[in-house]
Amino acid sequence: MILVLLLLSLLLIPRSIVMVLHFLEIAENSLQAHYFGPLKDYMYAQYMAAILGVFLGLLAVIFVGLNLVALDPRNDEAYPRFTGQRWIQILIVAPLFFE
């Protein structure tokens, strides 16, 4: 069952990439038609994709850094919220996947 889900998710990767690029093109067309500010020359999908990639990369680096906190098992305090398996999947793996 897990292998089937893995293969199905691999089939969705190219479609996800195309959809993200399509949405960036829609944003580019909309901004070029309605935005007349000083940054009009930079309202292209390539710049938006670069900004989105840098943002997601920084987000991933931040949460990888937060996850590298040394856990002390002798300490009786509760672990921070980002050290649980669910939060690792949501805050680290998901941004890296979408990046």
Question: Average pLDDT by consecutive 10-residue portion of the chain (99 residues)?
Answer: 79 86 88 82 84 88 72 63 66 71
Domain count, the chain: 1
| Range of the structural domain that residue 71 is part of | 12-98
CA angle 70, 75, 78 (to 5 degrees): 85
**43 within some domain:** yes
Task: With respect to residue 5, please indicate whether it lies within any of the assigned structural domains.
Answer: no
Residue 44 in any domain: the answer is: yes
Distance CA 97, CA 56 (A): 10
Residue 1 belongs to some domain of the structure: no
Q: Is residue 3 part of a domain?
A: no
Q: Identify the pLDDT of residue 8.
A: 80
Task: Give pTM, 2 decimals.
Answer: 0.51
Domain membership flag for residue 81:
yes
| Rounded alpha-carbon distances, angstroms, from residue 47 to 16, 44, 86 | 19, 6, 33
Q: What is the pLDDT of residue 63?
A: 79
The distance of Cα 79 from the centroid of its chain, to the nearest Å, equals: 25
What is the full DSSP assignment across 59-89? HHHHHHHHHTPPP-TT--SPPPGGGSHHHHI
